[in-house]
């Protein structure tokens, strides 16, 4: 398998402020002033909500103090304070929800844009990256990253920012009303609370990272097993697969128990700090009241302010953990964005212009790994409009040629030319738009037959899809199906037979209508009768195109204009079928061996 070139430094951490700074452009888009105004209004509502919350303890204090005095307008003033307190709480609720309503579109838009960028990046990354990564883990990374963003932003903007503002104002209020002693005690308790929360949460974060890794492992094993459902059945490996999955889920369960138990420890320690401060502050206020320094209302005053402070602080552990986890999940998404694109367009690259679709390999050297070269200075030319075939033993580099033509990889040295143009100097979109392929394993989308055929070209009309299906000899099948083109093919096209999937792949290529056609062992997985039917269709499709057939069974390419025989990454022989047989070399040896195998099968059947 080709190696993964993505950077994987286990010591590198991207879940700090740098990650947050990278996300800010998504949160404050330069090209969308409407969203920026929403952020401004959300901040206004935050200030109004915080201001209202800071006034409420004063109103409760005044109401309690009034109840301890006498006067003609006592009832009216006390009622006014109580009603004002209730109205303030209602106003605070209104401001909080208006803030959420205004900001929701900002958070969702930022999340959407980042997720779209990551998805686009995944399609820009090379085949090497996707061969080395597990699909389940990649999709889980995107899922966790996008889900964490909205929650993390909510806590940072609507929990931490108002709490910091409230702490500063309450410190001033306590100083004015009770002197520096209570301010110092409150500051010390909050500092202790934050330190304890940070230390324990850092420990919990490591447990959470382990949980994420094990969760991704369990998911990837499940996805891998289900995608290979038939293989599991072939080898009666259900118990084996269940045990592999169970190992991953048991490891995840152990990590989850540790994580939840650590949360209980955090809550206990936080409770000790908070209640020590509350007990000390209330005792100090009662002592001052006994000495005649404070009124009864100031006991309620202190209790209300501390409760208001404790409510967001009580969530600090969860908030800190959520933000840290959100930064970790976002960092994983940014790692995907930062993965180097192995194959990229040259700056200002023009589109490929084809007049005569010829193919030239000029001294091409290539290997998936630096110490394992596959092609050793391969050179050949396929003239425009001709049908060439490539054959050779397994591992000779036949399928590698198709991957290089599509520029999934770039050669280590040498050039690949189409109509005289180096494919590294043109855009990949135009290059791949000029080539059609019918692969050995035609993987279809889990959608309808019509969708899979029309996938050959964006915006294909219904008539074009029908014409392509007729050209691929697929209409017989479609006419028999009750839903016709709207028939679902299942995941990877498993509801269709091998021959039917190949015909859909051929029809998809016909819709694309490329000047160059690659047939990568397109019939090797089919029975003889289906193979002949598909070959007839392929020969008709390849007319008036430049075609390159990569084949294992030599009988399928005997009528090619020229046959290229590869051996150990080099061009060993070249010629027509009859010329190569007369040459009595590697091709003749392969032909004789396959003929003998076919005769042996016939004799065994008789």
In a domain, 523, yes or no: no
In a domain, 54, yes or no: yes
For residue 422, the cross-strand partners are 417
Contact 499, 530 (CB under 8 A): yes
Residue 272 has pLDDT above 90, yes or no: no
In a domain, 375, yes or no: yes
Instruction: Let me know whether 329 and 192 are in one domain.
Output: yes
Which residue, 291, 311, 338, sits at the end of a domain? 338
Instruction: Let me know whether 110 and 208 are in one domain.
Output: yes
Question: What is the mean predicted confidence (pLDDT) over 520-539?
Answer: 69
Assign residue 565 the CATH number of its domain.
3.40.50.300
Closest CA to 103 of 151, 51, 53, 145: 151
Q: What are phi and psi of 409, to 5 degrees?
A: -135, 160
Domain region containing 238: 17-338
Q: How is the chain split among helix, strand and coil, in percent rounded to 5?
A: 65, 10, 25
Instruction: Let me know whether 203 and 305 are in one domain.
Output: yes
9 pLDDT tier (thresholds 50, 70, 90): very low
Question: What is the mean predicted confidence (pLDDT) over 466-482?
Answer: 85
Instruction: Let me know whether 261 and 295 are in one domain.
Output: yes
Strands (E), 293-420: 359-366, 375-382, 387-391, 413-418
What per-residue confidence (pLDDT) applies to 296? 73
What per-residue confidence (pLDDT) applies to 603? 62
Question: What is the mean predicted confidence (pLDDT) over 222-237?
Answer: 79
Domain count, the chain: 2
- Scan for tokens 């009124």, then name that residue: 295
In a domain, 223, yes or no: yes
What per-residue confidence (pLDDT) applies to 6? 36
Instruction: Let me know whether 88 and 177 are in one domain.
Output: yes
What per-residue confidence (pLDDT) applies to 560? 87
What per-residue confidence (pLDDT) applies to 1? 33
416 pLDDT tier (thresholds 50, 70, 90): very high
Question: What is the mean predicted confidence (pLDDT) over 514-521?
Answer: 86
In a domain, 478, yes or no: no
Instruction: Let me know whether 122 and 57 are in one domain.
Output: yes
Q: What are phi and psi of 334, to 5 degrees?
A: -70, -30
Which residue, 338, 373, 394, sits at the end of a domain? 338
> Over the stretch 105-133, which tens digit does the pLDDT of each residue have?
877 787 777 777 777 777 777 666 666 66
Most confident of 68-82, 204-218, 331-345, 558-572: 558-572
Residue 390 has pLDDT above 80, yes or no: yes
531 pLDDT tier (thresholds 50, 70, 90): low
Contact 419, 355 (CB under 8 A): yes
Residue 362 has pLDDT above 90, yes or no: yes
Instruction: Let me know whether 315 and 402 are in one domain.
Output: no
Instruction: Let me know whether 191 and 325 are in one domain.
Output: yes
In a domain, 503, yes or no: no
For residue 574, the cross-strand partners are 564
Structure tokens at 168: 């500063």
What per-residue confidence (pLDDT) applies to 527? 61
Phi-psi region of 147 (alpha: psi -120 to 50; beta: other; left: phi over 0): alpha
Instruction: Let me know whether 77 and 182 are in one domain.
Output: yes
Task: With residue 572 as reference, give the H or E element that holds it.
Answer: strand 570-575
In this prediction, what percent of the chain has a pLDDT beyond 90?
Answer: 7
In a domain, 6, yes or no: no
What per-residue confidence (pLDDT) applies to 106? 79
Q: Comparing 133-147, 327-341, 407-421, which segment has the lowest mean pLDDT? A: 133-147
Instruction: Let me know whether 129 and 198 are in one domain.
Output: yes
Question: What is the mean predicted confidence (pLDDT) over 23-49?
Answer: 81
Task: With residue 245 as reference, give the H or E element that holds it.
Answer: helix 238-290
How far is residue 71's CA from residue 466's CA, in Å, rounded to a whole number? Answer: 93
In a domain, 451, yes or no: no
414 pLDDT tier (thresholds 50, 70, 90): very high
72 pLDDT tier (thresholds 50, 70, 90): low
Q: Comparing 241-245, 441-445, 478-482, which segment has the lowest mean pLDDT? A: 441-445
More confident residue, 349 or 301: 349
How far is residue 334's CA from residue 321's CA, in Å, rounded to a whole number? Answer: 19
Residue 360 has pLDDT above 90, yes or no: yes
Assign residue 22 the CATH number of its domain.
1.20.1560.10
Q: What are phi and psi of 128, to 5 degrees?
A: -60, -45
Question: What is the mean predicted confidence (pLDDT) over 45-60?
Answer: 83
Residue 488 has pLDDT above 50, yes or no: yes
381 pLDDT tier (thresholds 50, 70, 90): very high
Instruction: Let me know whether 245 and 376 are in one domain.
Output: no
- DSSP 8-state class, residue 534: H
Q: Comparing 122-126, 213-217, 330-334, 490-494, which segment has the lowest mean pLDDT? A: 122-126
More confident residue, 282 or 389: 389
Strands (E), 425-569: 435-438, 516-520, 546-550, 562-567
> Over the stretch 280-293, which tens digit does the pLDDT of each residue have?
777 877 877 787 77
> Over the stretch 142-201, which tens digit does the pLDDT of each residue have?
777 777 777 777 777 777 778 788 888 888 888 887 778 878 888 888 888 888 887 887
More confident residue, 300 or 75: 300
Instruction: Let me know whether 65 and 172 are in one domain.
Output: yes
505 pLDDT tier (thresholds 50, 70, 90): confident
């Amino acid at each position: 398998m080709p190696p993964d070139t993505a950077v994987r430094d286990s010591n590198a951490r991207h879940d700090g402020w740098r990650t947050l700074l990278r996300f800010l452009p998504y949160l404050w888009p330069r090209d969308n002033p409407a969203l920026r105004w929403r952020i401004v209004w959300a901040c206004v509502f935050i200030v109004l909500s915080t201001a209202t919350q800071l006034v409420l303890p004063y109103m409760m204090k005044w109401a309690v103090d009034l109840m301890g005095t006498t006067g003609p307008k006592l009832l009216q003033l006390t009622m006014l304070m109580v009603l004002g307190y209730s109205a303030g709480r209602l106003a605070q609720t209104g401001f909080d929800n208006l803030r959420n309503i205004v900001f929701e579109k900002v958070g969702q838009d930022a999340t959407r844009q980042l997720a779209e960028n990551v998805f686009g990046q995944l399609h820009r990354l090379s085949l090497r990256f996707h061969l080395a990564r597990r699909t389940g883990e990649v999709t889980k990374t995107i899922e966790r990253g996008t889900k964490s963003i909205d929650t993390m932003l909510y806590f940072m903007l609507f929990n931490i920012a108002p709490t910091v503002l409230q702490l500063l104002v309450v410190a001033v209020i306590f100083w004015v009303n009770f002197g520096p002693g209570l301010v110092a005690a409150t500051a010390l308790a909050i500092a202790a609370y934050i330190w304890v929360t940070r230390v324990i949460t850092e420990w919990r974060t490591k447990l959470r990272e382990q949980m994420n890794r094990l969760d991704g492992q369990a998911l990837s094993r499940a996805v891998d097993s289900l995608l290979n459902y038939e293989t599991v059945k072939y080898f009666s490996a259900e118990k084996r697969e269940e045990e592999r999955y169970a190992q991953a889920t048991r490891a995840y369960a152990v990590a989850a128990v540790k994580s939840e138990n650590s949360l209980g420890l955090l809550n206990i320690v936080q409770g000790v700090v908070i209640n020590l401060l509350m007990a000390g502050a209330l005792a100090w206020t009662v002592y001052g009241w006994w000495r005649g320094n404070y009124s009864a209302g100031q006991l309620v005053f202190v209790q209300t302010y501390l409760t208001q402070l404790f409510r967001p602080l009580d969530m600090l552990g969860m908030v800190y953990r959520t933000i840290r986890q959100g930064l970790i999940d976002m960092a994983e998404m940014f790692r995907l964005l930062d993965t180097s694109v192995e194959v990229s367009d040259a700056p200002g690259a023009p589109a490929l212009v084809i007049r005569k679709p010829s193919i030239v390999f000029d001294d091409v050297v290539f290997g998936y790994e630096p110490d394992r070269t596959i092609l050793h200075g391969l050179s050949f030319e396929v003239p425009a409009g001709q049908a060439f075939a490539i054959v050779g033993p397994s591992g000779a580099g036949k399928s590698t040629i198709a991957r290089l033509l599509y520029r999934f990889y770039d050669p280590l040295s040498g050039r690949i030319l189409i109509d005289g143009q180096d494919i590294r100097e043109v855009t990949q979109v135009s290059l791949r738009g000029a080539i059609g392929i019918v692969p050995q394993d035609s993987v279809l989308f889990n959608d309808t037959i019509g969708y899979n055929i029309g996938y050959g070209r964006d915006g294909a009309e219904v008539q074009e899809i029908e014409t392509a299906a007729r050209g691929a000899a697929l209409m017989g099948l479609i006419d028999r199906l009750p839903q016709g083109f709207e028939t679902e093919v299942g995941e990877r096209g498993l509801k269709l037979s091998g021959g039917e999937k190949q015909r859909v792949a051929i029809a998809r290529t016909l819709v694309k209508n490329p000047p160059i056609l690659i047939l990568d062992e397109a019939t090797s997985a089919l029975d003889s009768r289906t193979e002949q039917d598909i070959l007839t269709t392929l020969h008709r499709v390849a007319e008036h195109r430049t075609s390159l057939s990569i084949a294992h069974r030599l009988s399928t390419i005997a009528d090619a204009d020229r046959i290229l025989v590869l051996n150990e990454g080099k061009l060993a022989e070249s010629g027509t079928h009859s010329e190569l047989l007369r040459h009595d070399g590697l091709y003749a040896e392969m032909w004789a061996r396959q003929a003998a195998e076919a005769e042996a099968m016939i004799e065994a059947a008789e």
